[in-house]
Amino acid sequence: MSTPPKKRTARLTPRPVAEWSPEMYDALAAFRSPSTDGVSSPSPKRRTSPGNNALGTFACYPELAKAYLTFNGHVLYGSSLPARMRELLVLRVAVLRRCEYEWAQHVVLADTAGISPQEIDWIVEGPDRPEWDELDRSLLRAADELVAEAEVGDATWAALARHLDEHQFMDLVFTVGAYEALAMAFRSFRVEPDSDLVPNLPVTTGAWDPPSEGNA
């Protein structure tokens, strides 16, 4: 039986949309503008509301928001990686960093990218799950190695080289880095889940065990 998510009070107060500065709207425009052909973009109907707690927290610091969201916009909308590869990486980072908000957001995007609910469960188990093909296994292992060692290992690199080009290798590393940083921010600021994300939280769905009190 699943348990409801533990209430954790935000350390920063998200700004409501009515209080967003012109600079925050500039940041939001920079976030969305890198979209190219739409292949890697989340479906418009599945995007989260611009008033969500994550963007509301960024609105506390519009200058930083513009810098980070410009980068994150490339990762989401302009990357050379197909959406499926991107979401495998992001969800694995969310598991490794126990970032519930990041997980809940990207479970939705993973669905639109064609990742099945069964595969989402396998992401929690990691690259050693036997059902993964070589590419998926190597992507997940690369995420593990980057988070643990800040480097893709030689064997993993060689396996990925059979599938990825130069730009895709670069996008892989920067995708993991972007969502590693975002996980740190979400957890440190204690960004509260939006109501539409609550059903996807791991502590609601039982997707992965909640962290111990020492890691909360």
Please give the helix or strand (H or E) that residue 96 lies within, else none: helix 83-96
Residue whose structure tokens are 């989402």: 120
Is 120 a domain residue?
Answer: yes
Is 9 a domain residue?
Answer: no
Predicted confidence at residue 119, as pLDDT, reads: 95
Please say if the pLDDT value at position 40 is more than 60: no
Is 149 a domain residue?
Answer: yes
pLDDT band at 34 (very low <50, low <70, confident <90, very high): very low
Contact 122, 132 (CB under 8 A): yes
Predicted confidence at residue 104, as pLDDT, reads: 92
Distances from the Cα of 120 to the Cα of 48, 56, 93, 123, angstroms:
20, 28, 13, 5
Is 113 a domain residue?
Answer: yes
pLDDT band at 50 (very low <50, low <70, confident <90, very high): very low
Please say if the pLDDT value at position 122 is more than 70: yes
Q: Quote the domain boundaries for residue 177.
A: 17-215
Residue whose structure tokens are 């908000």: 101
Cβ burial of 169 (10 Å; 0-12, 13-18, 19+) is middle
Residue 93 to residue 84: CA distance in whole angstroms: 14
Residue 101 to residue 204: CA distance in whole angstroms: 12
Give the pair of three-digit tokens for residue 23: 């600079």
Q: How many domains does the chain have?
A: 1
Is 198 a domain residue?
Answer: yes
Is 69 a domain residue?
Answer: yes
Is 1 a domain residue?
Answer: no
Q: What is the pTM of this model?
A: 0.86
Is 96 a domain residue?
Answer: yes
* Range scoring the smallest mean pLDDT among 31-40, 45-54, 92-101, 122-131: 31-40
Please say if the pLDDT value at position 187 is more than 70: yes
Report the mean per-residue pLDDT for the chain. Answer: 86
Residue 78 to residue 32: CA distance in whole angstroms: 10
